[in-house]
């Protein structure tokens, strides 16, 4: 079955500021919670940090040229809030504005469409230390001001905005099990952080729609979701899989597309789940022009039995992720990536259909999808068949979803190049281009060449 993707389908790649920029302590950038997390012993493998990363700050022109050569049509990157406002409030750091202006202009000169994420986890450190970061409702106003600066400075040229990247990760990994910055471990803070993230997202959306309507752009949120298949066809397991999806994705998507948190979360989380006022519900409802989706993997879900390990046992942490009362397991037939995440292409199709059905056929963009491979040598990277097969199979299943009526409009591969993989440091490689961390040279891998050919024929080869 060889068939093109829909006309105007957007083909791009994605990165995030902290993961690639480097120049972390230069040009007026303030510190972020990730700089502090990296400096906390034991939090990041090999003691790696973002000081140099891929040195994209100094090499962005080369990177844009590489994208152009690969035929990528769009580039999703994030703005480092502490580069714009070093302490998260008040004064603008002009050097930061200048940097993103150079990057945006360079992309446009090369005919590549910028897709800009306002927040990909690098919160200005003073907001955390002095104001408790996402746990304090004040953040809504701070994020509003920061977003306004970005729309003012870049909105004449940037027409595609993403407010937050993966609030689930920031809430659960950052405030539940403590494996991401700010490293907090709690059974209630994730719900509070998530709540304030949703309010902040909605506020930025409203500011854009009311004050910057003349810029004629679109703005949405990107959520991440791993798909859950029921372990058996028993009713309890089917219910467990559905509940797991609600705790993963509907937690963030229901308030926006339906007006409130899912009933099952209210029931299972109880008082720890904050409530939206009527006014807040209104502000949040409908606050995304598209459904940004980051998707990587799937697992099996079941009603826990007495011998089952709950999610938190698997992660090695007690806590809030047990609230959903779901046991997770793997199908032994599934291959695994270097992250040990299952490679399940049909999960991508079924997730797209799940979103389509639950949220009444929203416009969807896959804003991240990709695979870490063990690539100790340049030769290994040059033969990244596993990644090429990953992209191809996930795209094939995505097209099946499109054929079934899902309004999927674009695909951004994670990632343009190897980069700082959070708590794994530089020990995991997600790039379609290799980065040699000694020389900082970039080199497209086989998967990049394959994607390039795919883009040239709008997916007809898949
Ligand atoms: C994204 O998050 C981030 O946006 C990006 O910055 C990051 O570099 C990239 O992915 C790669 O990690 O342990 O088998 O249960 C990924 C979100 C959430 C996907 C947790 C995998 C756990 C799989 N991830 N999920 S498993």
236: which residues sit within 8 A by CB, 6+ positions away?
Answer: 302, 303
From 169, 177, 367, 412, mutation site for ligand 1 pocket: most ligand atoms within 8 A of C-beta: 169
Closest alpha carbon to 213 in 164, 280, 162, 159: 159
List pLDDT tens digits, range 441-461: 999 999 999 999 999 999 999
Kindly tell me if the per-residue pLDDT of 321 is higher than 90. no
- Atom 12 in ligand 1: residue holding the nearest Cα: 421
Give 104-153 pLDDT, tens digit per residue. Answer: 999 999 999 999 999 999 999 999 999 999 999 999 999 999 999 999 99
* Helices and strands (DSSP H and E) totals, the chain: 19, 15
**Residue 296 Cβ contacting ligand 1 at under 6 Å:** yes
The catalytic position among 21, 166, 246, 375 is: 166
Cα dihedral 395, 400, 405, 408, rounded to 10, equals: 0
Q: Which atom of ligand 1 is nearest to the CA of 165?
A: 4
pLDDT bucket at 316, cuts 50 / 70 / 90: very low
Band of pLDDT at residue 371, cut at 50, 70 and 90: very high
How many Å lie between the centroid of ligand 1 and the Cα of residue 55?
Answer: 23
Please give the distance of CA 208 from its chain centroid, rounded to a whole number: 21
Active-site residue identified among 368, 375, 392, 397: 368
Q: Is 297 in the pocket of ligand 1 (CB under 6 A)?
A: yes
Ligand 1 center to 368 CA (angstroms)? 10
62 alpha carbon – ligand 1 mean position (Å): 27
267 catalytic? Reply is no
- Confidence bin at 12 (pLDDT 50/70/90): very high
Best mutation site among 20, 44, 53, 166 for ligand 1 pocket (most ligand atoms within 8 Å of CB)? 166
Q: Is the shortest distance between the CB of 341 and ligand 1 below 6 Å?
A: yes
Residue 178 has pLDDT above 70, yes or no: yes
Q: How many angstroms separate the CA atoms of 447 and 458, rounded?
A: 16
Per the CB < 8 A criterion, the answer to whether 27 and 98 are in contact is no
414 lines ligand 1 (CB under 6 A): yes
Q: What's the confidence (pLDDT) of residue 317?
A: 46
> Ligand 1 mean position to 296 CA, how many Å?
7
Structure confidence at residue 306 (pLDDT): 73
Query: Which tokens belong to 106?
Result: 């360079």
Strand partners, 161: 116, 219
Judge whether residue 83 has pLDDT over 50: yes
Which two structure tokens, joined as six digits, stand for 18?
A: 């902290």
pLDDT of residue 319: 57
Q: Is 315 in the pocket of ligand 1 (CB under 6 A)?
A: no
| CB-CB contact of 10 with 411 (8 Å) | yes
Residue 201: both structure tokens together: 């997202």
Residues 6+ apart with CB under 8 A from 233: none
Q: Is a pLDDT exceeding 60 seen at residue 180? A: yes
Q: How far is the CA of 341 from the centre of ligand 1 (A)?
A: 9
Residue 398's SS3 state is helix
DSSP letter for each residue of 396-454: HHHHHHHHTT--EEEEEEE-SB----GGGGGGSB--SEEE-TTT--EEE-HHHHHHHHH
Mutate to test the pocket of ligand 1, among 16, 53, 168, 226 (most ligand atoms within 8 A of CB): 226
Give the pLDDT band (50/70/90) at residue 305: confident
Q: What is the pLDDT of residue 184?
A: 95
- Is residue 441 annotated as part of the catalytic site, yes or no? no
Share of the chain above pLDDT 70, in %: 97
Ligand 1: does its nearest atom lie under 6 Å from the Cβ of 16? yes
Helix pair 94-109, 56-70: axis angle to 10 deg: 20
Residue nearest to atom 19 of ligand 1 (CA): 296
Asked whether 113 lines ligand 1 (CB < 6 A), one says no
**Which amino acid residue places its CA nearest to atom 3 of ligand 1?**
166
Measured from the CB, is residue 430 less than 6 Å from ligand 1? yes
Q: Compute, in angstroms, the gap from residue 169 CA to the centroid of ligand 1.
A: 8
Confidence of residue 318 (pLDDT cuts 50, 70, 90): very low
Residue 327 near residue 402, CB atoms below 8 Å:
no
Q: How far apart are CA 294 and CA 163, in angstroms?
A: 14
For residues 275-284, average pLDDT:
98
Q: How far apart are CA 172 and CA 360, in angstroms?
A: 27
Residue 20 confidence (pLDDT): 99
- State pTM to two decimals: 0.97
What DSSP letter does each residue of 239-262 carry, written as one string? HHHHHHHIIIIIHHHHHHHTSS--
Mean pLDDT of 16-23: 99
> Is the link from the previous residue into 182 a cis peptide, with omega within 30 of 0?
yes
If residue 214 lies in a helix (H) or strand (E), which one and from where to where? none
Question: Is there an atom of ligand 1 within 6 Å of 419 CB?
Answer: no
């Amino acid at each position: 079955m060889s068939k093109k993707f829909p006309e105007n389908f957007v083909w791009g790649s994605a990165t995030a500021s902290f993961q690639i920029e480097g120049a972390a302590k230069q040009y007026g950038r303030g510190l972020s919670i990730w700089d502090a997390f990296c400096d906390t012993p034991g939090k990041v493998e090999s003691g790696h940090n973002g000081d140099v990363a891929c040195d994209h700050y100094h090499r962005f022109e080369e990177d844009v040229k590489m994208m152009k050569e690969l035929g990528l049509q769009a580039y999703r990157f994030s703005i480092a809030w502490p580069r714009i406002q070093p302490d998260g409030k008040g004064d603008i750091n002009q050097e930061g504005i200048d940097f993103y202006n150079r990057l945006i202009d360079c992309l446009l000169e090369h005919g590549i469409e910028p897709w800009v994420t306002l927040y990909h986890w690098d919160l200005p450190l003073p907001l955390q230390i002095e104001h408790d970061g996402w746990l304090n409702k004040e953040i809504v106003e701070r994020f509003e001001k920061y977003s306004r600066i970005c729309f003012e400075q870049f909105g004449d040229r940037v027409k595609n905005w993403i407010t937050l990247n993966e609030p689930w990760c920031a809430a659960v990994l950052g405030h539940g099990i403590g494996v991401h910055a700010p490293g907090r471990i709690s059974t209630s803070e994730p719900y509070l952080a998530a709540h304030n993230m949703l309010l902040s997202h909605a506020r930025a959306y409203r500011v854009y729609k009311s004050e910057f309507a003349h810029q004629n752009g679109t703005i949405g949120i990107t959520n991440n979701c791993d798909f859950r298949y029921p372990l058996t066809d028993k009713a309890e397991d089917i219910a467990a899989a559905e509940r797991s999806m609600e705790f993963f994705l509907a937690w963030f998507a229901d308030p926006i597309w339906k007006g409130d948190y899912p009933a099952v979360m209210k029931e299972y989380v109880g008082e720890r789940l904050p409530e939206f006022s009527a006014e807040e519900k209104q502000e949040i409802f409908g606050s995304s022009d598209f459904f940004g989706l980051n998707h990587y993997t799937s697992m099996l879900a079941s009603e826990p039995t007495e011998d089952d390990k709950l999610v938190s046992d698997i992660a090695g942490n007690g806590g809030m992720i047990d609230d959903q009362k779901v046991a997770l397991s793997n199908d032994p037939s599934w291959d695994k990536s270097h992250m040990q995440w299952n490679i399940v292409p049909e999960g991508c199709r079924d997730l797209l259909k799940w979103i389509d059905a639950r949220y009444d056929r929203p416009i969807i963009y896959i804003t991240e999808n990709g695979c870490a491979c063990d690539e100790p040598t340049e030769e290994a990277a040059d033969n990244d068949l596993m990644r090429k097969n990953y992209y191809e199979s996930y795209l094939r299943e995505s097209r099946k979803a499109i054929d079934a009526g899902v309004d999927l409009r674009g695909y951004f591969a994670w990632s343009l190049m190897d980069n700082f993989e959070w708590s794994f440091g530089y020990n995991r490689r997600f790039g379609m281009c290799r980065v040699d961390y000694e020389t900082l040279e970039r080199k497209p891998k086989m998967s990049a060449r394959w994607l390039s050919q795919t883009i040239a024929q709008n997916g007809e080869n898949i």
